[in-house]
Structure 1
Amino acid sequence: MTQPNPPEFASRMQRVQSSAVRDLLKYSKMPGMISLAGGIPAADLFDLKGLGAVIADLHADSDPSIFQYSETEGDAALRASIANMLAERGIDAKPNNILVTSGSQQGLDLTARILLSPGDTIILERPSYLAALQAFGLAEAQIVTAPSDADGMDVSWVDDYLSRHHVKAIYVVPNFGNPSGATLSLERRQRLVELAGRTGTVIIEDDPYGQLRFQGEPVESLYSLAAGRGLSDQVVYLSSFSKILTPGLRIGWMVMSYAALRQATLAKQAIDLHSCSLSQRIVTAYLASGRLGQRLQVLREGYRQRRDALMGALRDHLGDAIDFAEPAGGMFLWARFGQAVDSARVLERGVVEGVVFVPGAAFYADHPEHSTLRLSYSMITPAAAKEAAERLARALKASVHER
């Protein structure tokens, strides 16, 4: 019997690599394994009591609409609640400029679909959020990466590049970036907005971690800075409830011009019609309960303690063999091994020792720096941080010895 030919998949799929973080999940589920890999919110910090109460109230109301189809743009009450929440952050967004998404990852996908044609150039910071590389690769965009440092993307480099090339969009995670943990400085944000206004380039501002600040003062959003110059149409702002409530609800949102929202709505209709009605009603009810502010305080303190525990353990057990910056918030340490050690080789030994992390090469569109690595502290206790550092030190020592 003749074997059928395998299907011929779309050429765009050749540009998309599997997520290194997802690939590591099989190791993180092994008994006794300590995972510093996934940027996963801590389940022990979820407000299960508050969520349980609003879910019970919704059930008691016996309102069948919570299980019904909804508007593509999102539940009107939720969009109004998001607008009010953003006003507290200094962002003037109207409900009619907000689109509810199935997590902020869908916001990335929709933004890529409505803005980028095959071959269009988009600038990302280096290193970059892995799922953004996937989304923009799937859109068949030309990805160019700008260098970054402790103050975020090097906007001077971007300015020089824009003077010589046409760029459709610039993507940035301005607060406690994934994976770098860096925060884009106010001066660079102001300059980036000025560049967008001068060149017509769209800024995609991805802000899932902005409310997880442990120290220092918040920096004004790119969206607000642009609005102050009459350039709010030049910015698409993305955020999510995944890191501040729960990721399983899969509720995020986009803020953008009405023209862009109409395009994104059409694209979303073709993908999923609308985000989950029940999840939207749960989030709306939770916001109305007034519990989010208190929960944010719990999250900030919990993640600060975990960050400090991991940094202290790394200093104690690896010393000068590893270098990292101290993030002012978020979930990640971006680190580098000394002596040009390949972090992928260390990971191989780490699996044997019982600790996993994400090798930094996964976060580069080109020319990866193999000695880098991303460490997430969100899921570990102080005691686990000590053990993780001890295991990582053994893995590093074994890897250097083998080399």
Structure 2
Amino acid sequence: MGQAQTSYQPLPLFMASIRSFIRLERSNGIPLYRQISQGLREAILSGELPEGTRLPPERTLARELGVNRTTVMNAYNDLSAEGLIEGHVGRGTLVKRGSFRPEEDYFDQTTPSWLLGLAANEDSLIGRDTRAVSELTSLKAGEEIISLAQGTPSADMLPADLIQSIMADSSLEAQRSALGYCPVDGLLSLRRQIAARMRTRGVSVDVQNILILSGSTQGLGLLGRFLLSPGDEVVVEVPTYLGAIQMFRALGARIIGIPTDSEGMRVDLLEAILARRQPRFIYTLPTFQNPTGVVMSVERRRRLLQLARRYQVPIVEDDAYGEIYFGEEPSRPLKSLDTYGNVLYLSTYSKMLAPGLRVAWLAAPEPVIERMGLYKQTFDLNTNALGQWIIAELIRRDLLDGHLSRARQCYQHKLNLMLEAIETYWPSGGRVYPPTGGMHLWCRLPHGMRARHLLREAAHERVAFVSGDLFHVDGGGQHYIRLSFASPEEAHISEGIRRIGVAMRRLLARRTHSEDQDLPIEHLPVV
């Protein structure tokens, strides 16, 4: 088949036709970019904007409609993600081949009106990047795609052999018990073992201070619902864990970002915020922070606790990676320094063992645990009893520490492979921030390169990673990416980094020829 002919019209005439497709209503509650994308979508699917039609540059259409360029960019992103338009160097943004469908096929008359109405509110409820997380969690290495996006244990480090041996060596009665219900607070034997392990890490807790959760994300949700009302403020690090950003926004919170550096959160900037505002809590990942891998210094940990006590603001400590360290053991949990009960501590076995076990925990003062347990049962009556029993058996049989030791060696080796490949295949001018634990490598791109541009180019090389702007609440991170080294196979690490290097060099070579091109930034291409 030959290439579709690009459709050109005189710009004034074409802009008049574009305006006929897009009718902006600024008071109807629907985001403007949604109204723009919907108007263009209907025109494309009805055939009024035929295949090969060149759409106006973002700046031109923004000026014509009286909106920001970002608004048009977001509309084009939506259409690109749906496969309706695509950007071409030197040709602009074109309606894509195969976009036209007869109107009767497009408009599904069986869709209830209440469901169609949800689209107008979904961005304010869940955030525009929620689908990106869904795509990341569903993306698997295969079909020639190499994913450096997922921060999960590698397949060969999932403890299937240990679980098999536990099942084989356990009585039928024990296995049947593990398949039943357990208390809302969690399996008592596991809570005791967690409390004992935390005491070895300097945290003074006992069984009454432990609540078992179905993953740490559930813990964030429960704490958020427990502590927040719509419009309340939450302090987070910048950058920070994307899942937390989405959870707090979904709960209607206003997020205040505090910058980080090589020693963690800038607590010197935090004090001014606490003095002027009344945030409901401070959310921090002080050990192997996601995405940067930074460990907060002991001095800042102490200062953070002092500020929290002075201004009576609780701290939510998220410690998913604290036991995945390379070399010397890092600082003990922030909660180990907490003598006033201000730190609500979350951790999970998803990174240490396997995400499919769905077991995490909250460590907090007893009154908080009691209230959270009552609150939890309205959402989740029973955390995975089988997963709890398996983990309790792993700890009881002294198998967890051996597994963690092997995992640390494996992930440190994979990190070194990634760093060596970056040195070999990437152009100079960027910067990497090697962590001393965790699963992620934070990178600044060379020569002012934008992460979203690189994502688009890397999609052609069949490699995926995460754009840094997703971890920011302040519009930053556009020149950063996060690479996860734990999950991919060793061969895929080197090959994936090589492919990213190819995409980088192609972008840099193209820049000299198209500095003034006004091409759209496409949707995160991870599937």
1:112 deviation in Å? 0.6
Q: Does 1:22 align with 2:130?
A: no
Q: Does 1:291 align with 2:399?
A: yes
Distance 1:30 1:43 in 2: 13
Does the 8 Å CA contact 1:73/1:99 hold for their aligned counterparts? yes
1:274/1:317 CA distance change after superposition, 3 Å: same
Distance 2:308 2:195 in 1: 24
Distance 2:174 2:367 in 1: 37
1:353 deviation in Å? 1.0
Q: Does 1:308 align with 2:420?
A: no
Map of 1:269 onto structure 2 = 377
1:11/1:235 CA distance change after superposition, 3 Å: farther
Question: How many corresponding residue pairs?
Answer: 399
Q: Does 1:159 align with 2:271?
A: yes
Q: So what's the TM-score if we normalise by structure 2?
A: 0.72
1:368 deviation in Å? 2.5
Distance 1:48 1:222 in 2: 32
> Identity of counterpart residues, as a percentage?
34
**Equivalent position to 1:44, from 156, 176, 186:** 156
Aligned AA (2:478): H
Q: How does 1:324-403 map to 2 (within 5 A)?
A: 324-403=432-511
**Equivalent position to 1:254, from 335, 339, 362:** 362
Does the 8 Å CA contact 2:471/2:477 hold for their aligned counterparts? no
Which runs of 5 or more structure 2 residues have no equivalent in the other structure?
1-108, 512-527
Listed one character per residue, the Cα deviations across residues 342-383 of structure 1 (whole Å, up to 9, x for unaligned) are: 111111121211211101111112313211110000123443
Query: RCO higher in 1 or 2 (8 Å CA, sep ≥ 6)?
Result: 1
Does the 8 Å CA contact 1:36/1:357 hold for their aligned counterparts? yes
Cα RMSD (Å) of the superposition? Answer: 2.0
Distance 2:258 2:122 in 1: 24
Q: Does 1:214 align with 2:326?
A: yes
Listed one character per residue, the Cα deviations across residues 33-72 of structure 1 (whole Å, up to 9, x for unaligned) are: 2111110111201222211111233463355332222211
Structure with higher Rg: it is: 2
Q: How does 1:106-117 map to 2 (within 5 A)?
A: 106-117=218-229
Does the 8 Å CA contact 1:113/1:267 hold for their aligned counterparts? no
Map of 1:320 onto structure 2 = 428
Q: Does 1:54 align with 2:166?
A: yes
Does the 8 Å CA contact 2:286/2:294 hold for their aligned counterparts? yes
Instruction: Single out whichever of 68-77 and 197-206 deviates more from structure 2.
Output: 68-77
**Which segments of structure 1 move beyond 6 Å, counting only runs of 4 or more?**
none
Distance 2:468 2:145 in 1: 20
Q: Does 1:92 align with 2:210?
A: no
Does the 8 Å CA contact 2:154/2:489 hold for their aligned counterparts? no
Listed one character per residue, the Cα deviations across residues 177-232 of structure 1 (whole Å, up to 9, x for unaligned) are: 111111111110000000011011010000010001103442132111112xxx12
Map of 2:241 onto structure 1 = 129
Instruction: Single out whichever of 11-20 and 255-264 deviates more from structure 2.
Output: 11-20
Q: So what's the TM-score if we normalise by structure 1?
A: 0.94
Does the 8 Å CA contact 1:175/1:182 hold for their aligned counterparts? yes
Instruction: Single out whichever of 392-401 and 188-197 deviates more from structure 2.
Output: 392-401
Distance 1:254 1:143 in 2: 22
1:12/1:84 CA distance change after superposition, 3 Å: farther
